[in-house]
Amino acid sequence: MTEIIETEKQYHEALHLAERLLDAHPDSKEGKELRLLLLVIEKYEDEHFSIDNPDPIEAIKIRMEDLGLKNKDLVQSIGDKGTVSKVLNYKTSLSLKMIRNLSKQLSIPADVLIKESTPAV
């Protein structure tokens, strides 16, 4: 029977058990145990290995690189070239309108963009 994972040792044991159960038929007893085990593992990982959203400006820069965009390509979402430069250099904060536009243009979730920006040191 699957139990709540409280220690790192239990976590590793659960991972090994899940690996052994991966080929189980979904409707079998082992398949049902695997689904439950994966939920317990996910809960442990969420509590102990959570990853924060990235800095909004870094997320924008990464997405621009992914899409092959230049600063000028953000003018439609942010404003003039000067404002784009100020935003990307942490001199000006994103407005709600910019967040909406960037979210749509770059397919970045608004909750990532709404977070306060802090330049990397």
**CATH (residue range 56-113):** 1.10.260
3-state secondary structure the chain: CCCCCCCHHHHHHHHHHHHHHCCCCCCCHHHHHHHHHHHHHHHHHHHHCCCCCCCHHHHHHHHHHHHCCCHHHHHHHHCCHHHHHHHHCCCCCCCHHHHHHHHHHHCCCHHHHCCCCCCCC
Residue 116: pLDDT band with limits 50, 70, 90 = confident
Every domain of the chain and the residues it spans: 8-48, 56-113
What pLDDT, on the 0 to 100 scale, is given for residue 79? Answer: 92
**Entry pTM:** 0.60
